[in-house]
Amino acid sequence: MIYSVLDFGAVPDGRVNCAPAIQAAVDKAAAAGGGTVLLPPGRYYSGSVLLKSRVELRLETGAVLVSSLDENEIQSFPAAPGEQPIDGWNGGFFLGARDAEDIRVTGGGVIDGQGDQVFSDGNVDAGFHECPLRCAPFRPRLMLFENVTGLEITGVTLKDAAFWTLHLAGCRRVRVHDMQILNNDRGANNDGIDPDCCQDVIISHCLVETGDDAVVLKSTAPMAKRYGPCENLTITGCILHSRDSALKIGTETHGTIRRVVFADSIIKDCSRAIGVWVRDGGTVENIQAHHLTGSVRRYADAYDLPGAPGWWGKGEPIFVSATFRKGSALSSPGMIRRLSFSHMDLDCESSLFLGGEAQSVIEDVRLNEIRLRFIRQGTQPGGLFDEQPSARHVYPHSIPALYARWVKGLSLQSSAAEFYGEREAWNGTLTETEQCENISVCWDK
């Protein structure tokens, strides 16, 4: 059964709040046991809408669903009795669902978060106009799904998110495919896709352009307690652009993140291709990344100004970090083990970086068929290691092709690095190690 929102009083003029009409159509479809809520072509301004089990929200080509930024029209995300709300400091959600099954968001239309209304350029990076933009105090998540089993998002374009774009918390059997995320690539906290303690997730054939991380896997404390590990995820066939990481694992690592495959994708001018963090005592294991090509580079930031923002990353193709947060009382940041990286071809500005600690040794890392070209692509000089967020923070360091600290079991084979530029931070050093054991590194000549 198809339920057109026009039949429930929606006015597609871009001004009238259509949330009551859209919610009424969703409720009617759910009460009937399921159905399709249809948005015909037009511009639908709306406050928060909560989807329900067995309901498909279909945006026809030419339909634009526009998020309100009015705190009176944005709801807090529903929380179970005794639970803390998921919203955090940024307010509520625009579109989402909780404790549901078999939900679909489909079609050729657009979901617009109006991020262009919440970001502004403070011009705090010496005129480069590359650092994160200033933010308005109220920024709702664009889409938030918690404890949804059987979720599919396909075809749609998510545009100009004001905060996280697609947050998946404790969801299972998820397919995100053949869709676009087109955000401001200087937008702070406008992550593309955030699976948080989710299981059995396929992200495929997506184009993601954003400021913060394109795809970021998390194990936040409340979600780890409610839903267990983040596991069995594949990200494949995507084009990813971010001024942070294309694929990020962490930094929130209160539980386990495991069995992740990242493959057959293009890295388009990101700060890092792959970043793996432990900070909160959890475990990251069994991660595979292969057949990636593109470029990573450093963007301008403004750390010398109090409170001014910056990106994490200095152009590392791979960044693996197990170290303490500043002021941490933990006995160990956590465990990283069994990582495999192969068939990667990247222009870069910083090292293959593997940094553990005596209390958190990185174990069993395999690199094969890695081709790196160290070449200045951006506006900024190199010569920095960036271990944010941590007690080590950002500090000067020359740039070898491979840097490893407190790693046990490292193999690099059939790989090559080329260095360009006479006055760059790299000096042609291939490998630098500290406190490592069981190392086998063989660069091609």
Residue 305's pLDDT is what?
A: 59
Residue 87's pLDDT is what?
A: 64
Residue 303's pLDDT is what?
A: 64
Residue 240's pLDDT is what?
A: 98
The number of domains in the chain is 1
Residue 308's pLDDT is what?
A: 57
As averages over each run of 10 residues, the pLDDT of the chain (445 residues) reads 98 98 98 98 98 98 98 90 68 94 98 97 90 93 97 98 97 98 96 98 98 97 96 98 98 98 98 98 98 97 68 97 96 98 98 98 98 95 94 95 98 97 89 97 91
Domain assignment of residue 365, given as a range:
2-443
Q: What's the 3-state SS for the chain?
A: CEEEHHHHCCCCECCCCCHHHHHHHHHHHHHCCCEEEEECCEEEEECCEECCCCEEEEECCCEEEEECCCCCCCECCCCCCCCCCCCHHHCCEEEEEEEEEEEEEEECCEEECCHHHCEECCCCCCCCCCCCCEECCCCCEEEEEEEEEEEEEECCEEECCCCCCEEEECCEEEEEECCEEECCCCCCCCCCEEEECCEEEEEECCEEECCCCCEEEEECHHHHHHHCCEEEEEEECCEEECCCEEEEEEEEECCEEEEEEEEEEEEEEECEEEEEEECCCEEEEEEEEEEEEEEECCCCCCCCCCCCCCCCCCCEEEEEEECCCCCCCCCCCEEEEEEEEEEEEEEECCCEEEECECCECEEEEEEEEEEEEECCCCCCCCCEEECCCCCCCEEECCCCCEEEECEEEEEEEEEEEEECCCCCCCCCCCEEEECCEEEEEEECC
CATH number reported for the structural domain that contains residue 161 in this entry: 2.160.20.10
Residue 122's pLDDT is what?
A: 85
Residue 124's pLDDT is what?
A: 87
Residue 90's pLDDT is what?
A: 64
Answering whether pTM is above 0.95, one says: yes
Residue 180's pLDDT is what?
A: 98
